[in-house]
C-alpha cells in the first residue's frame, strides 16, 4: 500500500545496486547483500549476512539510505515557498491561502525531514523490547554515498501486505485475514511495544500492517521509525535550535499539529488541523490495524485525501451486519470503543491492553498468546 500520499519517484535500482554492493564490500565489517526485502522512500531494505568468522553467518536486514536522495529533499527546506518547518503546523490554514499543491509540498518537506536517518537512529538506539525491531549497527561513513541501518532480520515479513488491486490486506500465514486468536496475539504485542515507547516519550506515528514485522517464531515487532517523534519529558526543556538533520522536538506532552504517517490510519483529530496527542493517534492507528487484521479491508477508504479525511471524521465504523443475536462480540465492543471519534471518550492504550477481548484469547503476562497456526 502506498505508504504516504506524497509519493516519491521510484529510483532506478539497477543503477544504484553496483554502488551499494561496492559500498558494502569495501567496508571492514563486510556485509554481503542478499535478496531485496522492500523499498523505502529514500533507499531500500535488503537481507544481508555478516561474513565474519565461520559459517553459518548471521542474517540481518539492511535499510540503505541514499545521501543523494536525502540531500535532494533537504533542499526543499530552504525553498522560499515553504519557509520554515514551522509552517507545517498551520497546514490547514495554508491550504486555504495557497492551495493544495503547496500543502503537498509542505507535507513532502516535513516527511523528508521526519524520515531522516539521524533521528530514526537516535530513537531506535534507545529501544530494547520484545515487540520492537532491534537496531544493531549504523554504517555511516561520511565519505560513502549511502547510510546503512543494520537491523534484526524478520524472516516472517510484514504482518499483512496490501493488495492495491483488490484494496485488501492479506496475511502470508493464512492467505487471507487473521483468525481472532492470532490477531489478539499481535494486537497484544503491538500494544505492549507502544506502551514501552510511551514510557520513553516516543510516538511511532506510522503504525500499520506493513510496519509490523514477524520474526521466525511469529513474534510481532514494531518497525520503521521513519516518522517517530521523541518528546521532551519536561516540556520546558524543548529545544528550539535545530539542524536539517534533526527537526525540532515537538511540545513536551506529545502534542503535534502535523499529519505524519499514512492517511488511512490517521485519527479524526489528526485530520482536524488542530493540535492532537501523537500517543492517542498511535492507539487509533493500532485499532485501524486490528480492523484490517480481522476484516481485511480499510474501514475508511477513499483515494482522495479530502473525502478520506471527511470519512475518518464523520462516518461510523463499517462493522459487519447483522450483529450476532446476543449482541456485539468482545472484538466489536473493543473496536467500537477504541475508534470513537472523540479522543476523550476513547479507550486508552492501557485500557485496550486489559480488554476482555484479549482475556478471551488468554493473553499471558509475557506477551505471548495463542500460537501461530
Ligand atoms: N528488519 C526487517 N526484516 C525484514 N523485512 C524488513 C525489515 N525492515 C524492513 N523490511 C521490509 O522492507 C519494507 C520497507 O521497510 P520500512 O518500513 O522500514 O521502510 P519505509 O516504509 O520506506 O520507511 P521510510 O518511510 O522510513 O523510508 C517493510 O515493509 C518490510 O517489507
Ligand atoms: Mg514502512
Q: What is the pLDDT of residues 179-205, one digit of tens each?
A: 999 999 999 999 999 999 999 999 999
| Closest C-alpha residue for ligand 1 atom 17 | 224
- 43 and 65 in contact (C-beta within 8 Å)? yes
Nearest-angstrom CA–CA distance, 36 and 149: 15
Q: Tell me: the pLDDT tens digits for 90-104?
A: 334 334 433 444 445
pLDDT at 235: 56
Q: Give me the mean pLDDT over the 69-82 stretch.
A: 46
Q: Give the Å distance between the CA of 90 and the centre of ligand 1.
A: 30
With 0.75 as the threshold, say if the pTM is over it. Answer: yes
Nearest-angstrom CA–CA distance, 138 and 121: 8
Ligand 1 atom index nearest CA of 38? 12
Position with higher pLDDT, 236 vs 113 = 236
C-alpha cell, 341:
471519534
DSSP SS3 for 289:
helix
Confidence band for 236, pLDDT divided at 50, 70 and 90? low
Range(s) for CATH 1.10.510.10 in the chain?
Answer: 154-373
pLDDT at 314: 97
Q: Give the Å distance between the CA of 40 and the centre of ligand 2.
A: 7
Q: Give me the mean pLDDT over the 20-31 stretch.
A: 55
Q: Give me the mean pLDDT over the 132-139 stretch.
A: 90
| Closest C-alpha residue for ligand 1 atom 21 | 40
Q: Give me the mean pLDDT over the 50-72 stretch.
A: 80
Ligand 1 atom index nearest CA of 221? 1
**Following CA atoms 304, 305, 307, 312 in sequence, which dihedral angle do they give, to the nearest 10 degrees?**
130
- 209 and 223 in contact (C-beta within 8 Å)? no
The percentage of residues in the chain with a pLDDT greater than 70, rounded to a whole number, is 68
Give just the sign of the alpha carbon dihedral 330, 206, 174, 188: negative
pLDDT of 311 > 50? The answer is: yes
Nearest-angstrom CA–CA distance, 70 and 51: 29
Q: Tell me: the pLDDT tens digits for 151-177?
A: 999 999 999 999 999 999 999 989 999
What class, spelled out in words, does domain 154-373 have in CATH? Answer: mainly alpha
pLDDT at 112: 47
pLDDT at 83: 35
Confidence band for 244, pLDDT divided at 50, 70 and 90? very low
pLDDT at 84: 35
pLDDT at 85: 33
Helix (H) or strand (E) holding 306: helix 305-314
Q: Which residues are catalytic?
A: 206
Confidence band for 9, pLDDT divided at 50, 70 and 90? very low
Amino acid at each position: 500500500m502506498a505508504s504516504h500520499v506524497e509519493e516519491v519517484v521510484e529510483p532506478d535500482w539497477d543503477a544504484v545496486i553496483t554502488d551499494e554492493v561496492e559500498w558494502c564490500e569495501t567496508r571492514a565489517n563486510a556485509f554481503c547483500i542478499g535478496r531485496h526485502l522492500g523499498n523505502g522512500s529514500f533507499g531500500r531494505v535488503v537481507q544481508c549476512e555478516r561474513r565474519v568468522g565461520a559459517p553459518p553467518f548471521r542474517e540481518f536486514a539492511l535499510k540503505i539510505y541514499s545521501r543523494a536522495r536525502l540531500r535532494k529533499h533537504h533542499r526543499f527546506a530552504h525553498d522560499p515557498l515553504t519557509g520554515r518547518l514551522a509552517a507545517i503546523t498551520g497546514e490547514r490554514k495554508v491550504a486555504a491561502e495557497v492551495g493544495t499543491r503547496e500543502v503537498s509540498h509542505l507535507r513532502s518537506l516535513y516527511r523528508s525531514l521526519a524520515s531522516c536517518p539521524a533521528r530514526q537512529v537516535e530513537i531506535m538506539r534507545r529501544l530494547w523490547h520484545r515487540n520492537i525491531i532491534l537496531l544493531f549497527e549504523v554504517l555511516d561513513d561520511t565519505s560513502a554515498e549511502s547510510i546503512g541501518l543494520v537491523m534484526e532480520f524478520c524472516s516472517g515479513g510484514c504482518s499483512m501486505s496490501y493488495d492495491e488491486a483488490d484494496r485488501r490486506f492479506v496475511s502470508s500465514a493464512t492467505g487471507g485475514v487473521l483468525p481472532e486468536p492470532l490477531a489478539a496475539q499481535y494486537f497484544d504485542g503491538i500494544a505492549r511495544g507502544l506502551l514501552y515507547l510511551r514510557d520513553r516519550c516516543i510516538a511511532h506515528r506510522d503504525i500499520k500492517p506493513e510496519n509490523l514485522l514477524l520474526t521466525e517464531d511469529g513474534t510481532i515487532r514494531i518497525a520503521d521509525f521513519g516518522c517517530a517523534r521523541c518528546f521532551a519529558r519536561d516540556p520546558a526543556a524543548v529545544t528550539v535550535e535545530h539542524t536539517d538533520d534533526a527537526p525540532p522536538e515537538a511540545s513536551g506532552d506529545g502534542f503535534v499539529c502535523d499529519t505524519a504517517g499514512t492517511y488511512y490510519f490517521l485519527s479524526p483529530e489528526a485530520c482536524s488541523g488542530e493540535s492532537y496527542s501523537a500517543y492517542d493517534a498511535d492507539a487509533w492507528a493500532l485499532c485501524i490495524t486490528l480492523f484490517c487484521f480481522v476484516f481485511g479491508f480499510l474501514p475508511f477508504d477513499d483515494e482522495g485525501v479530502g473525502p478520506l479525511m471527511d470519512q475518518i471524521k464523520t462516518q461510523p465504523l463499517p462493522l459487519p451486519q447483522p450483529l450476532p443475536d446476543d449482541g456485539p462480540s468482545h472484538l466489536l465492543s473493543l473496536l467500537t470503543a477504541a475508534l470513537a471519534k472523540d479522543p476523550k471518550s476513547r479507550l486508552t492504550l492501557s485500557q485496550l491492553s486489559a480488554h476482555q477481548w484479549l482475556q478471551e484469547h488468554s493473553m499471558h503476562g509475557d506477551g505471548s498468546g495463542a500460537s501461530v497456526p
